[in-house]
């Protein structure tokens, strides 16, 4: 059932002694009606920005209860003339004794039980404002956060790199993926929101992350705070990304059969732990993105300007009008940072492919020049086809599954068709040798097989396929031979057919060469790659798209798959730009493509696999950390055998559902 994720957290503070006089001196009050050093009471509310929007692929899902549970929290207060120059002046622990749910639980449901705490009023210069920042579920997760009261600016504080998002173990944090900690919960921090709408037009607003504390939510006495109706709202979001795989698949190929998911893994992830880069304390958003739009007509009108939502979040008393933002910079955002191999990749051959259900990971985004294989987070799927029986594929045909005997028959027939001239020469040579032997009474054909010169002997040549050694790294037969054998040997006359076949094989084909030796020599053929699928297991790699084909549709000439600088040149001028229905992107790569691939915090990516059109890889797909191509080179849209096109629906949390056809 959909929950209204809003609760009031009233006040926050620490280390301030209780005063017997709850009233403030009026004659020294600043514009907030506070006197420096005297007690004051803040009324704050915390909400998840998950109200339904008009985005064509927006939908929302509460997720699991533990994903909302609050175990600990900190409130940080800043002061300054604006968010840009704000400086931290207070850090206040939210007591663990507070119960966030009205039902007495720690689950954020509708409204929290009231919490009031006295603070000591700060000294404010003329024109300075108060701002609030909340970090939930910090205990057991957040370490290494450094700041100095009265000195650290918001700009520096917001980019502190944290190294745990709330995974179940230190090993999971180090790997950058895993189950959620039900003890510590998922880290949540302020969400960056726009002050003006986007979607249908470029947003002209600012991006605000700190919550400006309104005068109406500051109270002079504890009693007034306890009876408060006005609150300053702080919107928070989870620092984690949620990935889920749903699999109900039928293979759509000549060998139509049911498919079963054996397990899945995540590759190319950011990570925390002791050596990882972690994640920014706050999602980093650029106001310049607000003007970006992809000009294809298929983009819904309400998401032409995809980085800011068209509709405001639900407004309540004390809640500023704000609009959701849809992307962010992670700690390895630029090409230069990615070049340091900052992404985590377990050796693919060691992947257990044991996941089912959901996993949590770190956000992974990158600039428009870096949307490459080695950078994009992917889901590796282990799928069982053919009822779990061994099968083979031949050459470029990744739709037909062959048994071993059928594979050899197909290859043999193909070889016979390709080598007709060679086979015709061999056959005519053997026929001439038979004729010579029949005229010689002492030949094996006559003396042993009982043939006479009047006998008529006919035969055919059939293919014999012999595999070489299986390459266990690729599960391919790098070499195989196709030889010939006598078949359908018939004798009209006195000869004994079984003996005749042996005698023909013993005929001299050439000097020091028997017919049997010649037939056993491989034909001159063009070999095709033969892949072996042990127990019917095949692997797929699904790169996760963020905006994907909805807001950032891709259309390009084939030359762009080798080098997208041809259509998205860094100069902003493309020779393909004027070609109708090929590329309509505006003036830059970023305008059209930024955010097409990647994963963003507080998003739930649901990979729905409901059909398979082709067989995947015979071995786990190798995403070992080396990007395919250089920055600005081959994009992730480069089509290859196992590429999977996707349509993504957004749900938060935000949850994104990605419908997949495996091929």
DSSP secondary-structure letter at 332?
T
What number is the average pLDDT over the span 217-224?
A: 79
At residue 481, the 3 state secondary structure works out as strand
The share of the chain scoring above pLDDT 90, in percent, equals: 43
Indicate the range of 361-375, 424-438, 613-627 predicted with least confidence.
Answer: 613-627
pLDDT of the residue at 420: 92
**Domain region containing 193:** 6-237
Cross-strand bridge partners of residue 69: 107
SS (H, E, C) 131-171: EEEEEECCCCCCCCCCCCCCCCEHHHHHCCEECCCCECCHH
Is position 345 within any domain?
Answer: yes
Is position 302 within any domain?
Answer: no
Asked if pLDDT for residue 576 goes beyond 70, the answer is: no
In a shared domain, residues 349 and 217: no
Report CA torsion sign: 67, 69, 71, 77. positive
pLDDT of the residue at 110: 34
Domains identified in the chain, total number: 3
In a shared domain, residues 509 and 646: no
Asked if pLDDT for residue 608 goes beyond 70, the answer is: yes
In a shared domain, residues 434 and 481: yes
What number is the average pLDDT over the span 409-432?
A: 94
Query: Can you list the positions of beta strands (E) in 3-80?
Result: 6-9, 39-42, 44-47, 73-80
Q: Which two tokens stand for residue 165?
A: 């998002």
Categorize the per-residue pLDDT at 150 as very low, low, confident or very high, splitting at 50, 70 and 90: very high
pLDDT of the residue at 253: 64
pLDDT of the residue at 185: 93
Categorize the per-residue pLDDT at 554 as very low, low, confident or very high, splitting at 50, 70 and 90: confident
Residues 159/342, Cβ–Cβ less than 8 Å = no
Encode pLDDT of 446-474 as tens digits. Answer: 999 999 999 999 999 999 999 989 999 89
Of 497, 524, 551, the residue at which a domain comes to its end is 524
Instruction: Tell me whether the omega of the peptide bond preceding residue 653 falls within 30 degrees of 0, making it cis.
Output: yes
Higher-pLDDT residue of 205, 227: 205
Residues 282/192, Cβ–Cβ less than 8 Å = yes
Categorize the per-residue pLDDT at 49 as very low, low, confident or very high, splitting at 50, 70 and 90: low
CA distance 226 to 223: 5
Is position 321 within any domain?
Answer: no
What number is the average pLDDT over the span 645-654?
A: 42
In a shared domain, residues 215 and 117: yes
Residue in this structure with the two tokens 């992404």, named with its chain if needed = 343
Q: Which two tokens stand for residue 261?
A: 């998911």
Encode pLDDT of 609-626 as tens digits. Answer: 877 888 888 998 776 655
pLDDT of the residue at 18: 22
In a shared domain, residues 34 and 164: yes
Asked if pLDDT for residue 22 goes beyond 50, the answer is: no
What number is the average pLDDT over the span 216-233?
A: 77
What is 434-465 written as a DSSP string? HHHHHT-TTSHHHHTT---TT-EEEEEEEEEE
Encode pLDDT of 180-203 as tens digits. Answer: 999 999 999 999 999 999 999 999
Is position 130 within any domain?
Answer: yes
In a shared domain, residues 129 and 41: yes
CA distance 138 to 144: 11
In a shared domain, residues 498 and 561: no
- Contacts of 142 by beta carbon, 8 Å cutoff, 6+ apart: 135, 162, 164, 187
In a shared domain, residues 246 and 226: no
Mean pLDDT of the chain: 80
Encode pLDDT of 276-329 as tens digits. Answer: 889 999 999 999 999 998 877 888 888 899 999 888 876 544 567 889 899 999
At residue 279, the 3 state secondary structure works out as strand
pLDDT of the residue at 222: 75
What number is the average pLDDT over the span 477-484?
A: 90
Higher-pLDDT residue of 388, 5: 388
pLDDT of the residue at 644: 36
Is position 410 within any domain?
Answer: no
Residues 277/332, Cβ–Cβ less than 8 Å = yes
In a shared domain, residues 519 and 549: no
- If you average pLDDT over each of 118-127, 329-338, 551-560, which comes out highest? 329-338
pLDDT of the residue at 184: 94
Is position 289 within any domain?
Answer: no
Encode pLDDT of 69-89 as tens digits. Answer: 888 889 899 999 999 999 999
pLDDT of the residue at 7: 31
Alpha-carbon distance values, 381 to 145, 420, 614 (Å): 37, 43, 14
- Residue 419 has a CB neighbour count (10 Å cut-off) of 20
Is position 26 within any domain?
Answer: yes
In a shared domain, residues 62 and 90: yes
Categorize the per-residue pLDDT at 375 as very low, low, confident or very high, splitting at 50, 70 and 90: confident
Of 182, 204, 237, the residue at which a domain comes to its end is 237
In a shared domain, residues 449 and 566: no
Indicate the range of 178-192, 213-227, 311-325, 500-514 predicted with least confidence.
Answer: 311-325
Q: Is 469 exposed, middle or buried (0-12, 13-18, 19+ CB in 10 A)?
A: exposed
Of 485, 502, 524, the residue at which a domain comes to its end is 524
What would you measure as the largest C-alpha separation in the chain, in angstroms?
A: 136
In a shared domain, residues 479 and 547: no
Exposure string of 227-250, with b = 16+ CB inside 10 Å and e = fewer, is ebeebbbbbbbbbbbbbbbbbebe
Residues 98/112, Cβ–Cβ less than 8 Å = yes
CA distance 505 to 485: 9
Residues 310/302, Cβ–Cβ less than 8 Å = yes
Query: Can you list the positions of beta strands (E) in 95-240?
Result: 118-120, 129-136, 161-162, 177-178, 188-190, 193-194, 207-208, 211-212, 218-219, 232-238
**CATH at 548:** 2.60.40.3690
CA distance 568 to 549: 17
Higher-pLDDT residue of 525, 637: 525
Nearest to 349 by CA among 174, 469, 475, 473: 473
Alpha-carbon distance values, 51 to 3, 106, 518, 652, 653 (Å): 10, 22, 77, 9, 10
Is position 305 within any domain?
Answer: no
């Amino acid at each position: 059932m959909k929950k209204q994720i809003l609760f009031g957290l009233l006040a926050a503070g620490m280390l301030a002694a209780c005063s017997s006089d709850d009233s403030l001196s009026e004659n020294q009050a600043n514009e907030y009606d506070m006197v420096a050093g005297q007690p004051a009471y803040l009324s704050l509310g915390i909400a998840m920005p998950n109200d339904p929007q008009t985005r064509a692929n927006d939908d929302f899902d509460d997720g699991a209860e533990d994903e909302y549970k609050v175990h600990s929290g900190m409130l940080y207060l800043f002061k300054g003339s604006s968010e840009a120059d704000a400086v931290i002046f207070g850090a206040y622990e939210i007591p663990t004794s507070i119960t966030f749910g009205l039902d007495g639980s720690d689950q954020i449901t509708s409204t929290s039980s009231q919490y009031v705490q006295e603070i000591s009023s700060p000294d404010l210069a003329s024109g300075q404002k108060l701002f609030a920042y909340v970090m939930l579920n910090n205990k057991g997760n957040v370490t290494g956060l450094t700041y100095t009261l009265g000195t650290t600016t918001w700009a520096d504080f917001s980019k502190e790199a944290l190294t745990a998002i709330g995974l179940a173990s230190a090993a999971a944090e180090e790997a950058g993926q895993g189950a959620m900690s039900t003890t510590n919960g998922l880290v949540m921090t302020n969400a960056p929101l726009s002050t003006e709408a986007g979607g249908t037009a470029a947003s002209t607003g600012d991006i605000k992350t700190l919550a400006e504390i309104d005068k109406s939510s500051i109270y002079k006495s504890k009693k007034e705070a306890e009876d408060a109706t006005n609150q300053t709202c702080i919107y928070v979001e989870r620092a984690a990304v949620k990935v889920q795989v749903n699999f109900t698949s039928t293979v759509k190929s000549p060998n139509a059969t049911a498919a079963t998911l054996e397990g899945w893994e995540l590759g190319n992830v950011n990570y925390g732990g002791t050596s990882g880069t972690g994640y920014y304390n706050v999602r980093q958003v650029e106001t310049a993105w607000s003007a970006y739009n992809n000009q294809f007509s298929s983009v819904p009108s309400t998401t032409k300007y995809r980085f800011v939502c068209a509709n405001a979040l639900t407004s309540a008393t004390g809640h500023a009008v704000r609009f959701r933002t849809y992307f962010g910079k992670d700690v390895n955002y630029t090409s230069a940072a990615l070049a340091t191999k900052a992404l985590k990749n377990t050796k693919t051959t060691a992947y257990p492919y044991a996941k089912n259900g959901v996993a949590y990971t770190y956000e992974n985004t990158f600039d428009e020049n870096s949307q490459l294989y080695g950078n994009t987070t992917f889901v590796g799927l282990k799928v069982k086809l053919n009822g779990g029986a061994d099968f083979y594929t031949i050459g470029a045909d990744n739709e037909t599954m062959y048994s071993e005997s059928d594979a050899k028959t197909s290859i043999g027939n193909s070889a016979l068709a390709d080598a007709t001239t060679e086979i015709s020469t061999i056959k005519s040579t053997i026929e001439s040798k038979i004729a010579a032997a029949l005229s010689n009474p002492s030949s094996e054909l006559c003396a042993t097989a009982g043939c006479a010169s009047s006998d008529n002997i006919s035969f055919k040549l059939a293919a014999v396929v012999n595999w070489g050694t299986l390459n266990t790294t690729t599960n391919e037969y790098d070499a195989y031979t196709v030889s010939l054998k006598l078949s359908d040997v018939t004798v009209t006359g006195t000869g004994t057919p079984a003996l005749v076949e042996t005698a023909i094989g013993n005929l001299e084909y050439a000097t020091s060469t028997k017919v049997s030796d010649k037939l056993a020599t491989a034909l001159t053929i063009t070999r095709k790659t033969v892949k072996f699928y042990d127990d019917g297991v095949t692997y797929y790699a699904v790169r996760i798209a963020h905006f994907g084909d909805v807001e950032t549709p891709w259309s390009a000439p084939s030359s762009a798959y080798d080098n997208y600088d041809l259509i998205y040149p860094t100069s902003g001028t493309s020779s393909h730009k004027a070609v109708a229905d090929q590329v309509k992107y505006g003036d830059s790569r970023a305008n059209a493509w930024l955010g097409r691939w990647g994963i963003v915090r507080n998003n739930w990516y649901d990979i729905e696999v409901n059909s398979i059109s082709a067989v995947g890889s015979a071995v786990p797909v190798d995403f070992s950390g080396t990007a395919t191509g250089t920055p600005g080179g081959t994009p992730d849209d480069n089509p290859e055998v196992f590429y999977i096109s996707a349509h993504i629906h957004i749900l938060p949390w935000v949850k994104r559902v990605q419908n997949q056809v495996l091929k």
